[in-house]
Amino acid sequence: MIVVRVALLTTLRAAGLGLALGLGAPAFAAAPAPAAAPVLTREPVLVHFVEAEFPASERDSGRGAKVVLRLEIAADGSVRAAEVVESAGPAFDEAARAAALRFVFQPAEVDGVPSAIRILYAYEFRPAPPEPPPQGALVGKVQARGRGTPLAGVAVSVTVVGADAPFTATTDEGGAFRIDALPPGSATVELQGEGFAPVRAEEAIEAGTELEVAYQIQLAEPSGPAEGEGDDLEIVVTAPPLRREVVSTSIRAAEASKVPGTSGDVLRVVESMPGVARAAAGSGQVIVWGAAPQDTRVYVDGVPVPRLYHEGGLRSVMHPSLVDAVELTPGGYGAPWGRGLGGMVRVDAKTPRRDRFGGKVAADLLDASAFVAAPLGRRADFAAALRVSYLRAWATRALGDEVAAYVPLPGYGDGQVRVLVRPSSRDTVEIVGMAASDRFRRGVPNPDPALATLDRRSLDFQRVYLKWTRQTSERSTLTVTPYVGLTLSEQATAFGALETSLRARSWLVGARANHRTRVTEWLRIDAGVDLEVNFIQLARRGALALRRGRATSVFGQPPPDQLGADAWDVALVGAAPYVEAEFSLWHGALKILPGLRLDPYARSVSRRNPPSAAAPAVGLFAEDFTAEPRLSIVAAPTDRLRLRAAAGLYRQMPAPEDLSATFGNPALSTPRALHVIAGGSVSITDTLSLELTGFFTRARDLAMRSPSAAPLPAEALVPIGSGRAYGLQAQLRQDLFKGLFGWIAYTLMRSERRVGDGPWRLSDFDQTHILTAVLAYALPRGFDASLRLRYARGFPRTPVTGAYYDVGRDLYQPIFGAQNSVRVPDFVQLDVRASKRFDIRRSRLEIYLEILNVWNRKNAEEIVYAPDYSARGVITSFPILPVLGVSWEF
Amino acid sequence: MGVLKPGAFGLGVVLIAACVPDVDVDLALVTSPRVLAVAADPAEVGPGEKMTLRALYAAPGGTLTDSPLVWSRCSARRPLAELGPVSRDCIDGGDGALTEIGDGLEVASQLPPDVCRLFGPDPPPGDPGGPAGRPVDPDLSGGYYQPIVLAGRSVADSPTLFRLRIACGLAAATQEQSSQFRRRYQRNLAPAISALERVSDASADLLPPGEALVVEAGERVRLRARWTACPGEPECGDGLCTLGEDGTACAADCGPPGCAGAEYYLRFDPDELDLVVARESLAISWFADAGHFDAERTGRTADDRTNASDNTWTAPEDRDEATLWIVIRDDRGGAAWRELSVLLSR
């Protein structure tokens, strides 16, 4: 913005009379005149001012200027000429002249007659004053935890990094507060009031936005610790995280840990989220909207990790104390994310900020864990967590080696180390290391060694990353996350001497950089790059059919006895620049988020021909490029109604294990998918909302086992598969209110596959009906109670309609009916959870009891057959199962 | 709760605290006419060569000497998308996939000359002008097989699949490796039960072929099947034409080839891409038309040098006689059997 101030200095001369009149700004100053001379009876008056354009060349100099012009004003008031008398430089001179020539005056009068006149005019340029820095606001409520009653008179103090003094407010009768004019950046919110010890929370203030929060404060119980000895971990932040995806479910860690079935493991709440199929017990799979588990990507702080749960699905791979929130996006996500055909699980981790050393230890039947956190001076924090399972150790002792050999007992462990450094007021740096390890081994002995079976799996992964966030300006933030990781996996099954195995060693190097800029009040832009490089060494041996879904098989069927082998290396390189804009119109009533992700992709496979002693390996290099447009629209026609729609193209690199010349196809093309989503939500109350979402996804170029009886070499897999999923998802959600939160989610959907132009059939991961109800309530005196009800249609399976005797192997082989034409029986389960906290001086002890499958219903997990396929039955899940756990937080 | 046998493999972690239904059946009990074994002579046949196939067709009451079995040779390759050992068309009899080769308990036939292209390591022809197709993968013993389907005359009879080992070359091997393989490889000789014994803590009594075993009703009888001990190292003059021996190197041994026990043989390892020496493992399948075996199958791994395998049969309480069948199989598709009649005293 250029502001031009104008002053007038005039020299008046009646034409041909040599009169001169000098006037001070804005008035005219007359010079002395001879008595007989014509008399200026009216001064010229500027009636139309033209603002001069501030010269672009001078804009950055920050200096002002004054140009004095001599204007020749005609008798009609127009400016006939403008002459520079005092120059301020060519640019300013010209700008002033150009403007002055367009002035219009009420003409001067000499002796009562309009006359031409000359005046001096000073045109002053002043640089635009600096805009006031954009500011944010913090608006919130403070309530008593578990009661929902507002807390009045609570002193709210916000300390923003770089600000001279804290910003303060006091809650009103309704517990509400508001603090405006907050500079953007990281802020520490401290609450002080009667009945509780001071508590703190970290918030991110963003320019031009109003951050809405709700704080739940645990008041000291009458019999609890004395005032001032409370626990500073009692604050529960229930503000919804920034929601940019059109359809997603995000849950804060504090709420998630109360859901039955999680055993306090925050990330296990994903199983109960809308759109997530009920996976087989112990599988640990995340199946979203009928997509194959491997099509849904899992990120921790934007860093891809190979799995969300440990083997067996009993625990997640991250300690709950380091989880801030978890968000599931079933589809339609924005341009910053890609390389997946299905959904996305994003875990926001945290380094808890403390003013003293603290931690938490916990133990139950499965494992024990420890977490510690401490400040490292004023500018850094440290946190670490470790978890080790001992289920296998005690179960083996309790059951005996023989029984334990039958029962699959996973062994697992994980650890995380995080250091948060704030080197300046604008920067935060988190250095993170995380690792997880899984071991699983089970064998079924048999008097005939050829029938003895062994199942062995292991997966170790490590990730090291650095997350650097810099407030580059008042309106922009830069986040850079470089990472490196190693994943070692092995799965082997042996049926007598017939072993099928797959071993992989995968190095992962990547970086994610995102620059977010609020260009104007109505436009925000995210631009960045998502770089991911994988180097994988693989070795596989055995029959072709190792993975379900590639060939029709029945659960527990012995593998084919035909063997192949291959060892190959794969390098996958993807560097995807992206940009996403958020147009916020009509004060946010309409948001349009167009995005574009460019996904150039290169692949190198060490062997394009099957292994042969007679022919050397010939490598393959392939590259691909796609543009993946994304569009999301969110409209809020009223305060309580929100409509959403999204569409986008997605792509996923072929799985490295599918790029074998023996077992797969090194030249597989990249599968692609289209997501289309539309829906809306209604806020029934401030905390109760109903959301309805319709979705349609379509995938193509999926790798399928070649249907040919004589396929070409290195074409065991061919990209002839298509998939589609469509359905409707409804969720009634109660955010935390008076200690109550929960949701009822129902998904009606269908997921289908087909080969080539063949007929559509159900996919292996279709669950037509998924209903999940979660209800949690915070009771007085530190008690919490919750329940979870789940109903899910069974997964499709291919029936066995007959059998024939394979006399050479002395085995019966199944004859299949129509693919996926029967289902595992429906699943219904009710779980309940109760916990009690004991505040002991500056620490807290929590004991919880979960009772899973309260009805003791015999839920079917899988269809199995007699060895000669003459009878069919189902494996049932666990009976009623109590789980007791304890944790101590200090 | 019950225990799944072979079919239980691959249950994975789903079994955590879960219950398996009782869908077990006693596969050793012969309750209706069924094929228990098929033996080929010779046990391994080259393209265009002749062979005789013989079935052990059993029923409650004893071995059947007449049968409605129809033998058909399969000519359809199994698509990779099918998991079973043979093309579905060969089981359904669809699309002209089966060629009838005879009926009865024994048939004589001849392998087609292109059998190694259909079911072996020779690449099948591709599209005109295009590259050849993918050869069939070998089994663990490096072998390839011609599927033979035995079906009853009634559509209600479930078919039986027999896979005849075919003598082919190697896929993915060098010329030198192929040459060495042709020179050293000895075709399979079907194993044989050299002796059947009734075992007690103190002694082992030989059960001669054709003689009935007399036991008391409900008695538990421990049986032992023995087979020939094959030499670990080939030795010319031992009377056995084994690994690396041929008519030139050891004419004294190489009249009838092989050893009717756990033979050493040469195979091409797809992992190492080299020739390796392997030893057969042997499995014993135990069948009876009454009573109950402790195990339906027993056996010895390749690295177990024991030349016998034991099992215990519990005699029925309500029968006067019973028939037992003991079938021995090796890794390379060879099979043989013994029948044992049992008289039950009360």
Contact between B141 and B90 (Cβ < 8 Å): no
Distance from CA of A818 to the nearest CA of B (A): 13
CB pairs under 8 A between A and B: 294
Contact between A545 and A558 (Cβ < 8 Å): no
Q: Which residue has better confidence, B232 or A22?
A: B232
Least confident of A244-253, A279-288, A571-580: A244-253
**Coil, helix or strand at residue A196:** strand
Q: Token pair of A70, please?
A: 């001599």
How many CB atoms sit inside 10 A of residue A438's CB?
Answer: 24
Q: Which residues in A lie closer than 8 A to residue B284 (C-beta atoms)? A: 448
The answer to whether B52 faces chain A, any CB pair under 8 Å, is: no
- Is the pLDDT reported for residue A550 higher than 70? no
Is A614 in contact with B172 (Cβ distance < 8 A)? yes
Is B81 in contact with A550 (Cβ distance < 8 A)? yes
Q: What is the 3-state secondary structure (H, E, C) of A312-353?
A: CCCCECCCHHHEEEEEEECCCCCCCCCCCCCCEEEEEECCCC
Inter-CA distances, B330 with A548, A681, B264, Å: 30, 67, 11
Q: Which residues in A lie closer than 8 A to residue B313 (C-beta atoms)? A: none
Closest chain B residue by Cα to residue A553: B83
Q: Please write the tens of the pLDDT for every residue from B249-268.
A: 676 666 555 788 998 888 99
**CA A98 remoteness from chain centre:** 54
Q: How confident is the model at residue A768 (pLDDT cuts 50, 70, 90)?
A: very high
A459-475 b/e (C-beta count within 10 Å ≥ 16 → b)? bbbbbbbebbbbbeebb
The pLDDT of residue A559 is 80
Q: Please write the tens of the pLDDT for every residue from A644-682.
A: 999 999 999 999 999 999 999 999 999 999 999 999 999
Single-letter code of the amino acid located at A81: A
Q: Please write the tens of the pLDDT for every residue from B111-167.
A: 999 999 999 999 988 777 778 889 999 999 999 999 999 988 665 678 999 999 999
Distance from CA of B288 to the nearest CA of A (A): 15
Q: If you average pLDDT over every residue of chain B, what do you get?
A: 86
The pLDDT of residue B74 is 95
The pLDDT of residue B176 is 92
List the helix and strand counts (H, then E) for chain B: 3, 21
Is B77 in contact with A709 (Cβ distance < 8 A)? yes
Is B11 in contact with A711 (Cβ distance < 8 A)? no
The pLDDT of residue A36 is 58
Bridge partners, residue A440, by sequence: A457
Please return the burial class of A222, using the count of CB atoms within 10 Å of its CB with bins 0-12, 13-18 and 19+: exposed
Q: What is the mean pLDDT of residues B218-231?
A: 92
Global confidence as pTM: 0.78
- Is the pLDDT reported for residue A237 higher than 60? no
Q: If you average pLDDT over every residue of chain A, what do you get?
A: 83
Q: Are strands A476-495 and A498-520 parallel, antiparallel or unpaired?
A: antiparallel
Q: Please write the tens of the pLDDT for every residue from A790-820.
A: 999 999 999 999 999 999 999 999 998 998 9
Instruction: Tell me the CB-side half-sphere exposure of residue A218, using CA atoms within 13 A.
Output: 28
Taking alpha carbons only, the member of A819, A866, A869 closest to residue A549 is A819
The pLDDT of residue A63 is 75
Is B161 in contact with A806 (Cβ distance < 8 A)? yes
- The kind and range of the H/E element at A100 are helix A90-100
Q: Are strands A176-182 and A185-193 parallel, antiparallel or unpaired?
A: unpaired
Rounded Cα gap, residues A743 and A745, in angstroms = 6
Closest chain A residue by Cα to residue B82: A551
Rounded Cα gap, residues A806 and B91, in angstroms = 11
Block residue for tokens 């059109």: A246
The pLDDT of residue A666 is 95
Q: What is the mean pLDDT of residues B175-180?
A: 91
Q: Token pair of A485, please?
A: 């990781």
Phi, psi angle pair for A322, to nearest 5°: -105, 10
Distance from CA of A506 to the nearest CA of B (A): 21
Rg of chain A over all Cα atoms, to the nearest angstrom = 36
How many CB atoms sit inside 10 A of residue A814's CB?
Answer: 22
Block residue for tokens 């401290």: A190
Q: How confident is the model at residue B16 (pLDDT cuts 50, 70, 90)?
A: very low
The pLDDT of residue A315 is 87
Rounded Cα gap, residues A608 and A620, in angstroms = 6
Q: Which residues in A lie closer than 8 A to residue B296 (C-beta atoms)? A: 448
Q: What is the mean pLDDT of residues A537-564?
A: 75
**Nearest by CB: B124 against A283, A710, A875:** A710
Contact between A348 and A481 (Cβ < 8 Å): no
**Coil, helix or strand at residue B15:** helix
List of residues 6+ apart from B36 with CB closer than 8 A: A807, B30, B56, B57, B58, B285, B287, B325, B327, B337
Q: Please write the tens of the pLDDT for every residue from A173-221.
A: 888 898 888 877 767 788 888 777 667 677 777 766 777 777 877 665 5
The pLDDT of residue A699 is 95
Contact between A876 and A827 (Cβ < 8 Å): no
Q: Which residue has better confidence, B199 or B17?
A: B199
Least confident of A25-29, A100-104, B81-85, B296-300: A25-29
- Is the pLDDT reported for residue A129 higher than 90? no
Single-letter code of the amino acid located at B323: T
Q: What is the mean pLDDT of residues A464-471?
A: 93
Model ipTM?
0.92
The pLDDT of residue A313 is 81
Taking alpha carbons only, the member of A181, A198, A187, A60 closest to residue A128 is A60
Q: Token pair of A889, please?
A: 């937080």
Rounded Cα gap, residues A733 and A687, in angstroms = 8
The pLDDT of residue A409 is 77
Q: How confident is the model at residue A19 (pLDDT cuts 50, 70, 90)?
A: very low
Distance from CA of A668 to the nearest CA of B (A): 16
Least confident of A561-565, A838-842, B99-103: A838-842
**Coil, helix or strand at residue B299:** strand
- Is the pLDDT reported for residue B210 higher than 60? yes
Contact between A853 and A828 (Cβ < 8 Å): no
**CA A880 remoteness from chain centre:** 36
Rounded Cα gap, residues A645 and A643, in angstroms = 7
Contact between A478 and A470 (Cβ < 8 Å): yes
Please return the burial class of B238, using the count of CB atoms within 10 Å of its CB with bins 0-12, 13-18 and 19+: middle
Bridge partners, residue A344, by sequence: A297, A329
**Coil, helix or strand at residue A863:** strand
- Is the pLDDT reported for residue A824 higher than 80? yes
pLDDT over 70 percentage in chain A? 87
DSSP state letter for A239? P
Q: What is the mean pLDDT of residues B301-311?
A: 92
The pLDDT of residue A4 is 35
The pLDDT of residue B238 is 67
Q: Which residues in B lie closer than 8 A to residue A614 (C-beta atoms)? A: 172-175
Contact between A331 and A296 (Cβ < 8 Å): no
DSSP state letter for A870? S
List of residues 6+ apart from A729 with CB closer than 8 A: A247, A274, A275, A330, A679, A691, A692, A693, A694, A695, A745, A746, A747, A748, A749
The pLDDT of residue A350 is 86
Q: Token pair of A450, please?
A: 């050829």
Among A229-238, A564-573, B201-210, the range with the most confident prediction by mean pLDDT is A564-573
Most A CBs within 10 A among B53, B80, B89, B157, hence the mutation to make, goes to: B80
How many CB atoms sit inside 10 A of residue A522's CB?
Answer: 16
Q: Which residue has better confidence, B244 or A496?
A: A496
Q: What is the mean pLDDT of residues A724-748?
A: 89
The answer to whether B105 faces chain A, any CB pair under 8 Å, is: no
The pLDDT of residue A9 is 38
The pLDDT of residue A752 is 95
pLDDT over 90 percentage in chain A? 37
